[in-house]
Structure 1
Amino acid sequence: MAKYNEVKRKACVGERIKIVNRIDNEHRYENGDEFMVMADWGAGDVRVDVAGDAACVFLREYVVLEPVPEATPQPAASVPQLPELFAQFLRDNSAAVRAYLDAVDQQAGGPVTEPIVKPAETIAAAKPLTRADVLAQASADVAELLRIGRSDDDMLSGSKHFRARWYDVDFVVNREKRTVVALVYEINGLSRTFARYRSKPDAKGIARCAPDDVFHTDIGRAIALRRALGLVVPIAYTQAPKPEEPRVGAKVRGVGDDNDFGVIGTVTEMRPVDYLDADNGLIVDTFSGSGWNYIRDVAVIDDTDVVYDVDYAKEAE
């Protein structure tokens, strides 16, 4: 029985296609039906024959079935193969071979006991992700998922509903409540205007930051969007490493035994040189007096506005 790979692309005349996302107003065929392409109607849309009736199948409805080449069976060897003959030669001449190898070892100054390349005794553990790594990954993830939503050629692997559909996304970010909501809308990709079919979202995903965790918009967007699309959420997002210390732009809460306890503000300067204990301090815009306090007496609650640049990534190594 022939085997096929399902490939999301434009079909050519003569190729087989499989229906995977039948449009709602088409009742002549169902998801899972297969057809031969009779004509190309442009923009990836094709004509097929359905019980003697010509039907237009849109690009978004089908995948191309590409045949998987079958391995050609090799005839049984009628004569012994080279490795077989060589093994028999060694068995028949083992004594002579050992004597020859001993002579070679003596001429070279003794037998070689160490391999040319030493196998590693242990496998080095994978380098743990830094917060900067996770933020970069989340940002790139969201950008790629948004790109796929308007792509004619790429399917959304792992999503049951949006696997072969065009879609658009709105994000609702509430930094006070520490939540991000992703609203996904099916869109008309055939018109190239990408108009939404409905005013109400077709799917919604929510990401809520735990009280003891650090909020970041990019991580929230990635979690919410993946949940809305029905995709797996990587553990790196839900258990992202916390910042090792505050940085300029971070929103912090005072946790020390002083007048700034419970006060929330934004870090404006780290280790200000004008103070005696400069290496251990920072300035927060809402703290009392000059805003100076010890780094140890604040907790980061939101680092969305922190710039995790290359230098910081090197620091974390």
Structure 2
Amino acid sequence: MTETKKYVRIKKATREAAWYVDKIGKVFEVELVGPTYLIRTGPNHLSAIRKEDAELFVTEKRPAKVGERVLITVAAPIGEQSYETGDVFVAESLYDPFTKDIQVLGMPDFIDYNEYEVIVNSEVKNEEADGMKIDLNAMGYDELIAHGEDVIRAIRLRAYGEGYRQGKFDAEMDYTHGQAPIVSAQSRRDEIVEQAKADVERLKETNIRLRTFNISLEVNRKDRSVEAIAKRPKSNRAFYGIAKATPDDCFNVHIGKAIAIRRALGLAVPDEYLNAPQPTEVRVGDVIMPSVLKKNTPRKVVATDVEVDAIANVCCLDSIMATNNATIIDDSREEVIGE
């Protein structure tokens, strides 16, 4: 079962002598709940917060789903971030299913998994759980307005989540003649390569942003391998990760970089990286081993290749591959796409 935590945000200080009178808007983790919220303010000291002075959040430490609210519990000290500890956002998308980072509504930055917890309660639910009936007639004007805004916000969040789930359901029901659309091996490999490219950039960016590791990559095309080195700033300590294509696999530098970086950082390597389908279509820039060339001599296929007339016309590459029993041994195509 997922562990839950409780946090309170200071909304007001009913008594001028309250210790938190100058901490309006701040968020604290709750250690004990009784007549008041008790938080730790010292190694051997608990301080009380009146319940009417605070907003309670019950959270779970897990990846956020689209439409769920998240509480920033530990904002990373990156200087230029546009959010801080105590902020509440709505998850818009799961930025990375492996590191569990998310993007949120109204925020251009992505939020690291270590910075947020998922909110699983609301003020209305808290009151109902405590056996308290909401008496609208007893509320003052300002309190009534604030309560109405919370209700409207909750309705919007629920509608957003329901709309996402319905859209996902509709997409899953998009069948062709009663069967799921067939995705070719080449299309799936293309998707994995693009995923790996984004993964590498995101992991490098995250480590720069959080100042955890300086990451360098060394590609050995002869050995068909990639080595990642993750070194801690101002330290000689370093971690290494290696990815090497098997003799029967087509080497792709982007997948290799993603695998190597994840191994260096001690992160799980997605199964699709390790078991990506082999390419079935030749593209300009692929390295192939066709029988029309000298045995064991790889040749980069380009549109201007004049040594092998049969491969000069890119639109005919697939048929040439088939008739000459050629094999794609590297589909990185870094020079072609200008990387």
The higher relative CO (CA closer than 8 Å, separation ≥ 6) is in: 1
Task: Kindly name which structure, 1 or 2, has the bigger radius of gyration based on alpha carbons.
Answer: 1
More helix by share: 2
So what's the TM-score if we normalise by structure 1?
A: 0.48
So what's the TM-score if we normalise by structure 2?
A: 0.45
